[in-house]
Amino acid sequence: MATRQKLMRAVRVFEFGGPEVLKLQLDVAVPIPKDNQVLIKVHACGVNPVETYIRSGTYSRKPLLPYTPGSDVAGVIEAVGDNASAFKKGDRVFTSSTISGGYAEYALAADHTVYKLPEKLDFKQGAAIGIPYFTAYRALIHSARVKAGESVLVHGASGGVGLAACQIARAYGLKVLGTAGTEEGQKVVLQNGAHEVFNHREVNYIDKIKTYVGEKGIDVIIEMLANVNLSKDLSLLSQGGRVIVVGNRGTIEINPRDIMIKESSIIGVTLFAITKEEFQQYAAALQAGMEIGWLKPVIGSQYPLEKVAQAHENIIHGSGATGKMILLL
């Protein structure tokens, strides 16, 4: 007699569009791990802005419909496929990518994108590591090639990627400046590695940053909203400075002369370009951060799976993020 396939709750997207296309279904088949795959019982899943762009159909990468969004999950290994011998049932883990989607009670992941979650971090923190910390690490270490002693401005520092960038930059010996749009956000940025913070809702905050850093300017800017800030960023850079574009929601006009005079660079970052070897390299650095204690995700707003549409609405149209948005299962 055939065994009945186990069912789970999962969010499914059948058409691209607004948050209302996120449909919670109660009868989705639990996936079965194949070679080099593991099945994770999800306790928490991170919500990232990129997931809203993919859902709306405006992103360069479009998944085949229907699909389940989400990549950053934390939970417990439920089942292990062949050749995934690094894990066993019951292990506490987090991922930087999933195969079947993270907004679900169970998620399938390739074993090389799954990592042990230290006991000192809870599942919510585990779900806040993936995209934010791997992106921040890639931006700073791989793309900007930062050196200890350099200055970095995290432009939009109070969200998931911003706080990760502050923690990593401080641990690697940089002079860290951040911006945030709320008093709470500014406080959290200072508590997580920034030496100084500025309010990007103030009209003259760019002048304040210029006064603070002096004539030399800033060596590296990690930019979360390039369509608003890129032109300002170019005016802040030092000779040979680099702007690393992590987030963008539209177009902007810039004057290329600003780049010529300072021989500065604008570099884009995406995790979709990352190799298996790079994943392992970044994971080793981040694992060390967890052990030593400088990697400590800050959790922001939390939503049950039923409120996923609200989460997608708020991550884009909210009044300024503080910490990492999480779905709880």
Distance of CA 84 to the CA centre of its chain: 26
Phi, psi of 55 (to 5 degrees): -60, -35
pLDDT at 272 over 90: no
The set of residues, in sequence order, having a beta carbon less than 8 Å from that of 196 and lying 6+ positions away, is 176, 177, 178, 190, 212
Q: Which superfamily does 132-268 belong to? A: NAD(P)-binding Rossmann-like Domain (3.40.50.720)
Please, are residues 238 and 176 in contact by the beta-carbon 8 Å criterion? no
> Given pLDDT bands bounded at 50, 70 and 90, which one contains residue 5?
confident
Domains 7-128+297-328 and 132-268 share a fold: no
Does residue 210 register a pLDDT over 90?
Answer: yes
pLDDT of residue 2: 53
- Please say if the pLDDT value at position 307 is more than 70: yes
Could you please report the per-residue DSSP string of 236-271? HEEEEEEEEE----S-----THHHHHHT-EEEE--G
Query: What is the structure's pLDDT at 319?
Result: 72
Quote the CA–CA distance of 12 and 24 in Å, as a whole number.
Answer: 6
Judge whether residue 320 has pLDDT over 90.
Answer: no
Residues 6+ apart with CB under 8 A from 248: 225, 226, 227
pLDDT digits (tens, 9 = 90+) for 78-104: 999 999 889 999 999 999 999 999 999
Answer yes or no: is pLDDT of 153 > 90.
Answer: yes
**pLDDT tens sequence across 8-34:** 999 999 999 999 999 999 999 999 999
The CA-CA-CA angle for residues 48, 191, 92, to 5°, reads 50
Residue 109 has a pLDDT of 97
pLDDT at 3: 60
Q: Which CATH class is domain 7-128+297-328?
A: alpha beta
- Domain ranges in the chain? 7-128+297-328, 132-268
Q: Kindly report whether the global pTM for this prediction surpasses the value 0.85.
A: yes
Q: Give DSSP secondary structure letters for 83-152.
A: T-TT--TT-EEEES--SS-SSBSEEEEEGGGEEEPPTTS-HHHHTTTHHHHHHHHIIIIIIS---TT-EE
